[in-house]
Structure 1
Amino acid sequence: MPDRSEVAYFGAGPAPLPTKVLVKGAEAFVNFQNTGLSLAEISHRSQTANQILADTKAALTTLLEIPDSHDILFMHGGGSAEFSAVVLNMVAVWVEKRRREAEKDLGQDSAAIIERVRKELQDYLRLDYLVTGSWSLKASQEAANLLEPLGKGFVNVAVDSRKSASGKFDNIPAEDAWTLTQPRNQGGKTSAFVYYCDNETVDGVEFPNFPKCLDPDSSDEVPVVADMSSNFLSRRVDVSKHAVIFGGAQKNIGITDVTLVIVRKDVLATQPPPSFLHAVGVWSPPTILSWPVVAKNNSLYNTMPIFSIWIAGEVMRGLLETHQDRQLAGQEEVANAKAKQIYDALDRYPEVYQIVPDRSVRSRMNICFRVNGGDAGQEKAFLEGAEAQLLQGLKGHRSVGGIRISNYNAVDVDKVRRLTRYLEGFARKSKR
């Protein structure tokens, strides 16, 4: 049976964790801080649980330099649940802004206010999605499903990168090709938000930087929502440019059960009564997905997995300890260097390895490629050879096939070196 140090795991999620965190987690799972109780057994209402929440928030705030304008929520359901939460919460914000404007114009005439907002909803509401991979596609489809009772056309797919790449997600079109909803003062319609997935886990596509056209100075203050599930804490992020950032924990943050949501406080404060949403024909967010409710209850509206939150906090504190005052700049350098080493090895043998996405949008976290043009026998041989050397988790997503190397934070440099040696050895053998 192999020792943990002998296995190099490159799975896309659940992903590897730092061994140091796992060892501490094993102790905490049995007897947390000599209390005689497992951390999985303590009350989520206890002082200990509240301290864990506070400590994890503090670590994340330091790492990402989160401004006071934003709050941190811990939620359930992974990124997929946030596909729905984003739509329901942000449409509610859009409706409330319209309700307040109508109230200024119409006074307390509730029937007239409802009628006006209902009409504006049909005429003006849009949700902008940048579809650059499988997960942003799923998010846009969820939005369309949720808004279908209102009718068609509310979801504006401002970019679908498959249309410029023969049906594949392997690039991000130039920003001047995006068809974002025009600002209100130019065309009447208004976007409740612009959604993008910063790193597409399945397709290996990552935004190289924050889109310039979404900068608050150039986008007429349209709220920006980002799914950062699979590159969270791997590079610096300007949180202030986002209304919402969310990410499932099971890639770079911790274990399953926890979803982190960073949300601007004005979003939490701009919510209409559920009765008004229902009156204009919009669903109100289920309580468990309502960001204001979760925030008001310090993420403890219902029983949260405190053990999982503690694990996430340990991972964050480990990054702070490793990089100290450099914070995420240090981890960004490490992530970039590991990715470069892998891509360099693949690029040296283009006749054997064909990297899927365009060079300009290659993901640092999920490196996707085919072997000998996708030859089934060769890819099977590649995976079997890797398994024999305890290089695991390399099979591509079932929807696209191929090979995928997930280069998350807990994959250390030595294991990347082992992998690149295997890549080079397999390629040389294939060329004979």
Structure 2
Amino acid sequence: MRLSGQILKGRYDGIILLVVLMMLGTGKLNGQLSGWSFDKAYATYRQYYYQPLDKWRSIREGTFSRTGLEDSLRQYTRGKVYKDVICPWWVEDLYRPDVIQARFQRIGYVGYVLDPLTGSPLLTNSWNDSTLFDAAWQNIPVDLVVYCNGADAFDYFLKCDSARLTFLKTVFDPEDGLINKRHFGRRPAGLHFYLPNFSFREKKAFMRFVCAVSMVIDHYCRNEERPYAGDKCWLTFTFSPSARNELDYLSGVLGLADEIHFVTYDEYGLPVATPEVYTYRNDPTSVLYRVYNQFYLFSFFSDVVSDTECCSDIARLSQASYSEHNWKFYLLLDFALVLALIISVLAYNLYSPFYMLVERYRSFIIPVLITLVTEIIIVFLYMVEALSPNELLFSLDEGTHLYLLALPLLFIVLHIGLKMLGGRRELP
């Protein structure tokens, strides 16, 4: 009995070992297809640039011994659903319906590897041999993915005005822009920035860049038509999961973009884990941080483009700000109120007639000061709301917000009412 038990145990151990080896072979032990990250694969295959689809198999298998990828992808993706994937060119030949057994809701194609020195594409192709336009996926949106490797590289790009303008023209130019290139009759449905190494050191520059991209999407106009507005160019930014700690700051980006994702992609462009997806509607950031983020967009000397204006100048839009409501007017009004408060304090201390006037109505000092300070705060909030591309605190469209300016006057009215009810006593 003991011998037979040992034999059975040995058989079970052998079966378990075989299953483990099979799971390792298919990459399912850890729920991942392989141990390579997207960045590592890019560093490995970058030297080959873009190649015809039929050559990538020999490069992967002959040079790097990456064999059996088709069967691994077929088994790993079977029955799964992916909201977003980003197809890299080094496995583009594998993105076929007979290999990818998952259901895609949106596909990104890494068609713009950013050169941070110039803003031009370091690597790009025409997608004309792509399998992404197979008839089985004809109704799935395909986005142009912009990829930049290295935190310092993208920081340099953000600080270079000419590089940012070159990028905008290369992507959005009506004649040659990559977002307008048609591939098998289809043009990219959106623009997807994959920035896995973003440093968050150049926060103001990044917010201004996002604003520039958003301005072109919303306001570029040609022949009285806006080719990118609305859902015609979906704007997405993807960061690594560690960037989740910067969500308070990225809330400002959500006011300009359609979606923000926190996820890591592997060498096949598949998400390693379920992405965290945020939009302006499910943003958990507090109002205080949302107000603070508007000041990354603050630039008193920037050009403004009204919501109804048609602008065909990409260079102008790259430096412009949203101005559905005239935030500069509220800024000047706030400045005037603060100046009035300062002048009043100085006159009270330096100008005798004004001092005597104030002393005669001394009981009104506190209500008037409360009213003036409250008006300054309200006008300040008007300015912040006018800076924001989306509704932040209240709507400025109907004009009902102006009633708030009358609210602080209640302090004075209430004070006068109390004085009348309490009677007036003459001072000895």
Using the size of structure 1 for normalisation, the TM-score is 0.25
Using the size of structure 2 for normalisation, the TM-score is 0.26
Q: Which has the larger radius of gyration?
A: 2
